[in-house]
Structure 1
Amino acid sequence: MTYQAKLIAGGKIVIPAELRKALGFQTGDSLVLEREGDSIVIKTYAQVVREVQKEFRTMVGEGYSVDQFLAERRADWGEE
């Protein structure tokens, strides 16, 4: 589906209500804009965090935990 928005004073863009609702954007959400060539991709900060977490999970494995990470760091620092 295609939506139309207008760039207004101060560089503000109003995202149509139907699109905001469909994407789950809420008032006050932090949005991240990524440039892809001549296009812009808009994501919530939460979406970006989930994408990064997913990427790290592929690198360290599904069962890896923050506690394991901290234990490894402490061992590296000689604290255990």
Structure 2
Amino acid sequence: MAANVSQGGRIVIPADIRQKMGIAIGDQVLLDWSEATQELRVFTRKQRLQHARDLVRQYARPGVSVVDELIQERRKAAADE
């Protein structure tokens, strides 16, 4: 799919792509430039948040609360001071 660049460097994202991505009028999108691949990628905040959650899940142990571990570490550090 092609899009034209207009005055001020604006690019219109076609309606069907906006619908698929869940982008509404006034929404902010995130742009990611890859130097390695020379690609510009467009993400919604929701997509980036989901990506971050997926990354964290890779390292989380089942049945272990990361929050509880952090609190425990902070209490131990405070006690050691």
TM range (shorter): 0.7 to 0.9
Q: Give the structure 1 partner of residue 23 of structure 2.
A: 25
Alignment partners' CA distance in 2, 1:62 and 1:28: 39
Structure 2 alignment gaps of length 5 or more: none
Q: Give the structure 2 partner of residue 15 of structure 1.
A: 13
User: Which one has the largest radius of gyration?
Assistant: 2
Alignment partners' CA distance in 2, 1:31 and 1:62: 33
Q: Give the structure 1 partner of residue 49 of structure 2.
A: 49
Q: Give the structure 2 partner of residue 34 of structure 1.
A: 32
Alignment partners' CA distance in 2, 1:4 and 1:62: 44
| Residue correspondences, number | 77
Listed as ranges, the matches of 1:56-71 within 5 Å are 56-65=56-65, 67-71=67-71
Structure 1 alignment gaps of length 5 or more: none
Q: Percent identity among equivalent residues?
A: 27
- Alignment-mate amino acid for residue 41 of structure 2: V
Using the size of structure 1 for normalisation, the TM-score is 0.72
Q: Which runs of 4+ in 1 moved over 3 A?
A: 62-67
- Alignment-mate amino acid for residue 50 of structure 1: Q
Alignment partners' CA distance in 2, 1:71 and 1:32: 32
